[in-house]
Amino acid sequence: MDSALPLIDFATFENGTSAQRARIAAEIGAACRSDGFFALANHGITAASIDAGFDMAQKFFDLPESEKAAIAIDRSACHRGWFGRGAEVLDKIGQPEGDRKEGLKIGRDLPPEHPRVKAGVPLHGPNQWPAESGKIAGFRAIMQTLYADCEKLSRQLMQAFALSLGLTPTHFDDWLSAPMATLGPLRYPPSEVAQDDGQDESLLSAGAHTDFGCLTLLFQHDAPGLEIQNAQGQWRPVPLMRQNVVVNIGDMMQHWTGGQYASTVHRVVNRSAQTRHSIAYFFDPDPDTDLSPLPGCGRIDAPPRTALSHLLAKIGDSFDYIETP
């Protein structure tokens, strides 16, 4: 793996011929089996939707901390809302003080009468939205539009995954009635040390980790910083690609594919003198999804798990305010 990710043109996947869809799926499958990361061009999410999301995210993060704290994540019963610097600890060994970032968790906005909410299913319920006035008027509508755009693309990628695994394109549909998905705007402060002193540990904005779920979409805006670890333990930077979305496989999909797809270690290092913004979208199936290896994917030496139990364990490991069983 070098600094350049595989770049896959997704333009003809949705409405293309069977041969075109199969070719794109094969390219995606190859990237998932090797790097676990790829970049997607012509992905169908408009620049206007992405730019509006970044504009609202930056304006939200610019608010006084007291206003952001009004929707602090530890006030939520379903892991939604704002968290400040150090609240998320992605690498407890390498960076036990937590990540140098702040973020916002926006999930599927479910009312109290929704069956999963009434049943008390963890990670399901209402979002915490900031009070909309002045600069962040329209925040909720813009974020919900971007959330829906990301869900549509993620569902298409799940079809591509299925084709690449020798399954029917709709194989995953039964587990995607109301996927557990989270839109996560993030802000990383500028570097606190000189860029050329080699002290990567003090530059870390997000500690080394693998993602928890099925797939992640990542939009980058104003500064690079994502780095991927190769098989030799070397860190390789991912260039800033505003027009393309970076896609990577998480632990859940690695488990589900019997280890065929790679959940690759990565981190964020903002070496620049400017603030870095990104928006991540984490896409995961329905909570009761059995993650036993898919047909034809072989076996994996791990205990059985569901999508919900997997996520609860991973989130509990990285947020101290959550008490895990």
Task: Sort residue 252 into left (φ over 0), alpha (ψ -120 to 50) or beta.
Answer: alpha
Which residue in the block uniquely carries the two structure tokens 């140098």? 100
Q: Which amino acid is at 301?
A: D
Beta bridge partners of 276: 188
What are the tens digits of pLDDT across the range 64-101? 999 999 999 999 999 999 999 999 999 999 889 999 99
Tell me the average pLDDT of the chain: 92
* Alpha-carbon distances, residue 280 vs 2, 15, 137, 141, 169 (angstroms): 22, 26, 22, 18, 25
The alpha carbon of residue 295 and the mean position of all alpha carbons in its chain are separated, in whole angstroms, by 26
Identify the DSSP state of 313.
H
CATH number among 2.60.120.20, 2.60.120.330, 3.90.260.10, 3.30.2320.30, domain 25-318: 2.60.120.330
How are beta strands 215-220 and 204-209 bridged, if at all? unpaired
Q: What is the pTM of this model?
A: 0.95
Contact 224, 240 (CB under 8 A): yes
pLDDT over 60 (residue 199): no
Instruction: Give the confidence band of 194 by pLDDT, cuts at 50, 70, 90.
Output: very low
- Checking if the pLDDT of 197 tops 50, the result is no
Asked if the model's pLDDT at residue 134 lies above 90, the reply is no
Res. 324: pLDDT tops 80 = no
Question: Which one, of 152, 190, 158, lies nearest residue 174 by Cα?
Answer: 158
Please state, in angstroms and rounded to a whole number, the distance separating the CA atoms of residues 34 and 219.
22
Report pLDDT for 295: 86
- How do residues 19-53 score in pLDDT, each as one tens digit? 999 999 999 999 999 989 999 999 999 999 999 99
Using an 8 Å Cβ cutoff, are 85 and 95 in contact? no
Take residue 186 and report the two structure tokens written for it.
């993030």
Residue with tokens 């504009």: 55
Question: Is the pLDDT at 196 greater than 60, yes or no?
Answer: no
Note whether 283 and 214 are within 8 A (CB): yes
Confidence (pLDDT) at 325: 45
Q: How confident is the model at residue 296 (pLDDT cuts 50, 70, 90)?
A: confident
Residue 2 has pLDDT above 80, yes or no: no
